[in-house]
Amino acid sequence: MNLTNEDVEEIIRILDASTYTDLRLETGRFTLVLRRQGSGWTQESEVRSVPTSVPGTDPLTPERAPLASAVPAPPAAGGPTLIEGLIEVRTPMIGTFYRAPKPRAPPFVEVGSIVGEDTVVGIVETMKLMTSVYAGAAGRVVDIRAADGELVEAGHVLMRLEQVDA
C-alpha cells in the first residue's frame, strides 16, 4: 500500500502548522521528501517496490536488446563526417529508424543511390514525431548500417557515402 495524494496533503497540513521545513520518509517500498518552498511545498517521491509478474507468465526481466550503437557514438549529432574518404550519415536523435516514408513503400535510398545534400535518406521516429534525415553531403550510398525499424541512438551511423565526380 502506497501513500495516496490525500495522505500527503494531510501530512502537509500537519507540517504547515509546524516550524519544520522538510520531511523525509523512507520505507522499503517508497521514499517521500517534502520541502517547504516559500509559502508552498514540494514533493519528491520514489516508489521502489519491485513489479510483481502475473503467476505462470514470463518473468519481468527486460530482454535488454542491445542498442544499435553499442560502441560509444561520437558526440557529433547529425551531420556527415569524413572517414577514409567515406562520408558518414548519422541520426540526429535517438529513435526508430525507417528507410521508407511508410510501410511497404519503396525505401528512400538503396546502396548505389546518388544523393544530394538535401536528399532525405530516412526517417527517425521519436515520441510520435517523424524527423527526416538528410544526406548532408552529395555522394553515392556505399552501405546502409541500420535496419528498417531498428532503434538507433543519437549519432549512430545510418549509412556511408562516397564522393562521386560530377
Residues lying near another protein in the complex (CB under 8 A) are found at 1-2, 4-5, 8-9, 12, 34, 37, 39-54, 56-58, 60-63, 65, 93-96, 125-129, 131, 149, 151
At its nearest, how many Å lie between another protein and the CB of residue 166? 33
Residue with smaller CB distance to another protein, 147 or 164? 147
- Residue 72: which residues within 8 A CB-CB, separation 6 or more? none
At its nearest, how many Å lie between another protein and the CB of residue 111? 26
At its nearest, how many Å lie between another protein and the CB of residue 145? 19
- Which residue type does 95 have? G
Q: Which of 86, 95, 88 is nearest to 130 (CA)?
A: 95
Residue with smaller CB distance to another protein, 81 or 125? 125
At its nearest, how many Å lie between another protein and the CB of residue 119? 21
At its nearest, how many Å lie between another protein and the CB of residue 76? 17
Residue with smaller CB distance to another protein, 5 or 19? 5
Residue with smaller CB distance to another protein, 70 or 127? 127
Residue with smaller CB distance to another protein, 65 or 166? 65
Q: Which long-range contacts (CB under 8 A, 24 or more apart) does 93-96 make?
A: 93/124, 93/126, 93/131, 93/154, 94/124, 94/126, 94/151, 94/152, 94/153, 94/154, 95/124, 95/125, 95/126, 95/131, 95/151, 95/152, 96/124, 96/125, 96/126, 96/149, 96/150, 96/151, 96/152
